[in-house]
Chains A and B, each alone.
Chain A
């Protein structure tokens, strides 16, 4: 059984007027079923309003399903009594780096989570050291978060989650507010954690370049899963992706155009090396 299991998940955003009457119901997630395996790197794609962030917020009980269930390991997210255990297991990194750092010093911020779950002080120092080391921010531990770049702040936020020793990290568009360098920094860190510490990563994003190295790509549209597979499989369907108002990685796009123009290239080319390897025999 997988670490994340959502069954027939439905979520409605309900707008109420002042008299508490329902004004408008917007279905953000519509009958979604998913099963994610422990240790996988899963990328969730979709344009704005596709329900991907809403889905992310279901994974640690910030939002509760209107209908259906979400299970993390064997915990139901709707169960109030196990909510803390659930949040220990599923860490979450949000979009705005400034609005999720609580501490006035980097190491104090990393300790915020462990402090909340009552880890003894000695053990906490060990966890803080290890977490900062894992994201490569040890050199900045005494700095004020205000003096870090966006990418560094997100790495601190990830360290703050790591210090709680989660099984799964959900990143809700962690790179949307970063420059290209910061984006690379964050994705590299996440990839390393996934490979070295075997942590399940669920990355919500709309940058195609970030999902190339994922084990599994899920494409959402109007609250439903419309594509699900390895990056290669998903990016083989360039036409469909374009219909969903999504881009494909620029290399894939180039390969696709070349193929349209008559070159005999396979579908779903993701990296530049791959493209070169396939092009060379043709051009010779």
Chain B
């Protein structure tokens, strides 16, 4: 059934990483990304590899799932690696026609490739171990300081979680409208891309109307239940740091200091 689809890519097992506070995981991902961007030697990349392997190991998520995200960036990966490989100047190792491969080129393109792969896999560790809701909560809390510059953090996160709740409902509705129109002779399958896109218009219009109607209803229901923005709101499940989170932060600190030390000393 369409309503059973899982949103995001959360992989439900119980692991050390799954139990961490979403804010800890968000911060960890950030640290990891920063460490990738300051890395400039084999040693730095080695460190990042160790960090990532430990995280994957602790998450208990099969590596296969981690690598899934790479498919989406494969083209980008190939392009950026080959550009770096062929267009970097330096000591020529190999040459044919207009292409030349240099020692520096190999080095730079390998680093570039690793950086991209690590970026994707690293953020997959977070999205695979955190439910979309926990992620929204974590973002709301850790970006709370933005309220000072009038960014409506609570409202944005409320919109995100409502969107998450309504995606399966709207998918089901799309399916219903599609079937109703197919029953009356609409054709969504044949034709080229442009014809297919045109066939979607009579599908999208009723879907939008119904989404608007739902939004009006929901707004009324929320108001009737005393919703009045984020002020004075309490939480059923407030985010709380546990001992594991504090240990993890210490671990981040150690990792980051070593990374910085490696960049400056070697």
Q: Which residues of A contact B (CB under 8 A)?
A: 60, 62, 84, 87-88, 91-92, 94, 96, 98-105, 107-108, 111-121, 124-125, 128, 145-147, 160-161, 164
Instruction: Find chain A residues with CB under 8 A from B218 CB.
Output: 99-100, 102
B215 closest partner in A (C-beta): A99
Contact A116 B217, CB 8 Å, known A101-B165, A104-B165, A111-B236: no
Within 197-226 of B, Cβ neighbours of A (below 8 Å) are at 214, 217-218, 220-226
Tell me the nearest residue of chain A to B173, going by C-beta. A98
Given contacts A115-B236, A118-B233, contact A84 B228 (CB under 8 A): yes
Instruction: Evaluate contact between B226 and A94: CB separation under 8 angstroms.
Output: no
User: In the complex, are the beta carbons of A94 and B237 less than 8 A apart?
Assistant: no
Q: Which of B222, B226, B235 contacts A164 (CB 8 A)?
A: B226
Query: Can you offer 9 A-B residue contacts whose CB atoms are under 8 A?
Result: A87-B224, A94-B220, A94-B224, A96-B217, A100-B221, A102-B221, A117-B226, A128-B236, A146-B165
Q: Across the interface, do A99 and B214 meet the contact criterion of CB distance under 8 Å?
A: yes
Q: Does B174 contact A (CB under 8 A)?
A: no
Is B169 a contact partner of A116 (Cβ separation < 8 A)? no
Do B161 and A113 have beta carbons less than 8 Å apart?
Answer: no
Whether B169 lies near A114 (C-beta < 8 A) is: no
Report the minimal beta-carbon distance from B230 to chain A, rounded to whole angstroms: 10
Which of B133, B227, B234, B236 is the one whose CB lies under 8 Å from A107? B236
CB-defined contacts of A98 to chain B, threshold 8 Å: 169, 214
- Please tell me if B4 contacts chain A, counting CB pairs below 8 Å: yes
B150 sits at the interface (CB 8 A): no
Chain B residue nearest to A88 (CB atoms) is B226
Query: Closest A-chain residue to B218, C-beta based?
Result: A99
Contacts of B221 in A (CB 8 A): 92, 94, 99-100, 102
A116 contacts B227, CB within 8 Å? Answer: yes
The residue in chain A whose Cβ has the minimal distance to the Cβ of B161 is: A104
Closest Cβ neighbor of A107 among chain B residues: B236
Q: Is the CB of A125 within 8 A of B226?
A: no
| Contacts A84-B228, A87-B224, A117-B226 known; 5 new A-B pairs at CB < 8 A | A60-B224, A87-B226, A92-B225, A99-B214, A100-B218
Taking the nearest CB of chain A, how far is it from the CB of B246, in angstroms? 21
B238 close to chain A: CB less than 8 A: yes
Name the prevailing secondary structure of the A interface residues. Answer: helix
Q: Can you list, as one digit per residue, whether each of B1-43 has a CB less than 8 Å from chain A (1) or not (0)? A: 0011000000000000000000000000000000000000000
Inter-subunit contact B224/A115 (CB<8 Å): no
Kindly state the separation between the CA atoms of A88 and B232 in the bound complex, as whole angstroms. 15
Contact (Cβ within 8 A) B164 A104: yes
Instruction: Check: B162 CB closer than 8 A to any chain A CB.
Output: yes
B69 sits at the interface (CB 8 A): no
Asked if B228 contacts A160 (CB within 8 A), the reply is: no
Given the complex of chains A and B, what is the CA–CA distance between A114 and B214 in angstroms? 23
Residue pair B169, A102 in contact (C-beta under 8 Å)? no
In Å, the complex CA distance between A115 and B226 comes to 9
Q: Pick the contact of A147 from B3, B162, B223, B233 — CB < 8 Å?
A: B3
CA separation between A121 and B232, bound complex, in Å? Answer: 13
Q: Which of B220, B225, B228 contacts A112 (CB 8 A)?
A: B225
Are A124 and B162 in contact, CB atoms less than 8 angstroms apart? no
User: A136 → chain B, closest Cβ, in Å?
Assistant: 20
Task: Name the residue of chain B whose CB is nearest to the CB of A85.
Answer: B226
| B113 located at the interface, meaning its Cβ lies under 8 Å from any Cβ of chain A in the complex | no
CB distance from B47 to the nearest CB of A (A): 38
In the complex, A88 Cα to B165 Cα: how many Å? 25
When C-beta atoms are compared, the residue in chain A nearest to B213 turns out to be A99
| A116 & B165 in contact (Cβ 8 Å cutoff) | no
Which residues from A are CB-within-8-Å of B164? Answer: 104
A108 touching B236 by the CB < 8 A rule? Answer: yes
Cβ of A114 and Cβ of B234 under 8 Å apart? Answer: yes
Complex contacts, B236 vs chain A, CB 8 Å: 107-108, 111, 114-115, 121, 124-125, 128
Min CB distance A128 to B, Å, is: 7
